[in-house]
A and B are shown apart, each in its own frame.
Chain A
Amino acid sequence: MGLTVTTLWWLGHNAVASLERHGLSLGFGFLKQPANFAIGDTAWLSFSPENTVGRAILVGFLNTALISALGCVLAIALGFFVGVLRLSPNPAVGGLARAGVEVMRNTPLLLLLLLLAASLHGLPPAERALHPAPGVFLSDRGLILPEIRVSGLTVWLGAATLATVLLRRALGRLGWRVAAMAAVASVASLVVRPPVVGVARLDGFNFAGGTTLSPEFAALLAALVLHQSAHISEVVRGAIVAVPRGQRDAARALGLSRFQVLRLVTVPLALRAMVPLLATNCVSLIKNSSLAVAVGFPDVVSVLNTVGNQTGHNLETMLMMMVLYLSLSFAVAGALNRYNTALLARGAPAR
């Protein structure tokens, strides 16, 4: 105890001394200084070098949030698909899925990321872009996809639907009804103001219309999704295999069809076992998104690192990085604990 305190004091004392030697002071005042560096990819917020350091970090954070959200959704979707494929009684299907999973699980994520980034940068220029599907282009500018623009009305109604679903407890018995009404209204708004689909076309040396994913973003997203989905597919497979055979047999004996057994018995039981592991997989995807540094995608770690190197406030930026990731991990851990408690309250299967 005494030793720990003494060591910590000694380290802290040295840190303060070396900061003084470099003419630096502790504090977060540097967040208000102009950033003086550009950020290539920005989601939602615009950014220019005259903006403050604080805004730069916020832009980086939004980039991390965007790639993590997209990555988690896509990785879970692909992981489910591959996990189910692996259970196929058809050896060809199962074997192909297994080969893919083995390659992903036995090579480092960073290797995949660097390989994808190098291949994307090695793609032909825009005027000779690969054109694998209508509206989809692959060139050294990145991945260009069709853009679906929904009206503002739909966005608001969709947000309202989500809010009512989340707040259904507070709304009491009316909760689901309100949510259903909001959902119907948002679907109706799609008919009243139909979404516009913007397809990219070549305009000179670049593309006009559509959404562009920069090569860095596309490489990072693809690498994260491919790598994590391999791990998720194992979780999915394990959870489905772990559903006791007797449960399925009993459901069949009650006269449920194969599809009903899957929908009403196997999937709900498997999901219960899966959710905590899916959440930890999402957390590790979010932590892995910090590999953005290696390909130059401006995520929060990369921006904080740039800021630390430029201003010399490495201590503060590191602190921000740690707090950010720790609060995320703790939030997920807390949510999982609540989920498990709720599950026990509802009567989880006896183990």
Chain B
Amino acid sequence: MTAMIGVRRSFATPLNTALTMVVVSVVAVLAIPLARWAVLDATWSGTAQDCRAASGACWVFVGHKASFILFGLYPAAERWRPESALLALLGLIVMTGMPRCWNRWLPVAWAAGLATAWGLMRGVGGLPVVATQEWGGLPVTIMLTAVGLGLGFPLGVALALGRRSRYAVPRAIARTLVEVVRGVPLIAVLYLAVLVFPLALPPAITLDKLLLVQAAVALFASAYLAEAVRSGLQMVPQGRMDAASALGLGWWPAMRLVILPEALRIVIPSFISIAVGFFQDTSLIVIVGLFDLLNTARLAAQDPAWLGFSTEAFVFVGAIYFCGSALLSRYGRWLEHRMAAARRGSEATR
């Protein structure tokens, strides 16, 4: 039905008809070669030679390299470990998405889940140890995003509270940190963490590169989350604090029980868009030489036996990024609608 209305609107006036024809021809000019490349002339089975003989996409290459792109240099015999770690992480993320699970057990579940994932990847309790240099692909991307946001969140809340503190010193520290981190590109923060920060440690301590990058991502996330939390805090009416004080609550209990729950609820949509941004931005760790999803795709395309199929590799990981980001955005919109409905409901009963 809506389709019919759409079609009718597309041809409502001569101008609209002309515009529709232009769009249809543009789509045709773009889509026909694309469809030929991706489907009709593509190679779905065979070898690199078959691919070179055909003019279309080489999906054989993606099929052949999918495991490498998804899990990087992780030893092939131990692939079940990153696979189960990935499942654990995805399970945690799905759980975090359900408002029903938003209680005090969620951080506990995260701590347990992350410890399990890390133990599986790294190898504890008799499993062969796999160094973080060999970790790669989707588990690294998801772990950097989830842990970065997870650790960045409490730090971000602390920074937001610091910026609104009565005392000058915490205010200055929080403000400097947030403004500096938000003012420079992520690449600068990554370089700082990998190249400069180790200089500032005593020679006895050497930190893992992945750990440093994870800390940098968390710091970067915390600055952006802090700004979101701060705008949420500003939107909580002053009367709430007054009411809490009148009930005899001190500053901390009032914050914890009254102000923060309300402020955080307001800014959940911005959290989601920050999360989408970070999911994509973790790809920048390519530049400091770690193997996230994008870098494994790039490496796969540099295999001498399969040269010339980088587009296919990028399209494959692009599809993964697209699905992840689109799902997350869609979830954000769902949550926003749900919260708006709940607010209308509570106002109606008031």
A residues apposed to B, CB below 8 Å: 1, 4, 11-12, 14-15, 17-19, 21, 88-93, 96, 102-103, 105-111, 114-115, 118-119, 122, 287-288, 290-291, 293-294, 301, 305, 308, 314-315, 318, 321-322, 325-326, 328-330
Contact = CB atoms under 8 A, between A and B. Distances in A.
B187 interface: yes
B67 interface: no
B184 A326 contact: yes
B20 A90 contact: yes
B261 interface: no
B137 to A, nearest CB: 14
B310 A118 contact: yes
B196 A314 contact: yes
Which 7 A-B pairs rank lowest in CB-CB distance, beginning with the nearest? Answer: A329-B183, A106-B325, A108-B280, A287-B185, A11-B200, A92-B23, A108-B283
Contacts of A290: 185, 187-188
B19 A88 contact: yes
B195 A294 contact: no
Given A14-B201, A107-B322, A119-B311, A318 B196 contact: yes
A18 B197 CA distance: 11
A92 B185 contact: no
Contact of A315 (B24, B186, B199): B199
Interface in B1-49: 6, 9-10, 12, 16, 19-20, 23-24, 26-27
Contacts of B23: 90, 92-93, 96
Given A90-B20, A108-B281, A287-B184, A12 B195 contact: no
A25 B180 CA distance: 26
Contacts of A92: 10, 19-20, 23-24
B175 interface: no
Contacts of A1: 169
Contact of B321 (A18, A89, A108, A329): A108
Interface of B: 6, 9-10, 12, 16, 19-20, 23-24, 26-27, 169, 173, 179-180, 182-188, 191-192, 195-196, 199-203, 276, 280-281, 283-284, 286-287, 294, 298, 301, 308, 310-311, 314, 317-318, 321-322, 325-326, 329
A112 B161 CA distance: 38
Given A108-B280, A108-B294, A301-B187, 5 more contacts: A15-B199, A105-B325, A118-B301, A122-B310, A308-B195
Question: Which applies to chain A's interface (DSSP): helix, strand, loop or mixed?
Answer: helix
Nearest to B326: A106
A119 B37 CA distance: 14
Contacts of A321: 184, 188, 191
A239 to B, nearest CB: 18
A110 B180 CA distance: 23
A325 B326 contact: no
Given A15-B200, A90-B9, A106-B321, A96 B26 contact: yes
Contacts of B195: 308, 314, 318
A14 B187 CA distance: 24
A328 B182 CA distance: 12
Nearest to B318: A107
Nearest to B184: A325
A322 B311 contact: no
A325 to B, nearest CB: 4
A238 B6 CA distance: 22
Contacts of B185: 287-288, 290, 301, 325
Given A4-B173, A294-B287, A321-B188, A91 B6 contact: yes
B335 to A, nearest CB: 18
A154 B116 CA distance: 69
A109 B287 CA distance: 13
A19 B199 contact: yes
A5 B9 CA distance: 67
A243 to B, nearest CB: 22
Contacts of A102: 326
A19 B199 CA distance: 8
A325 B200 contact: no
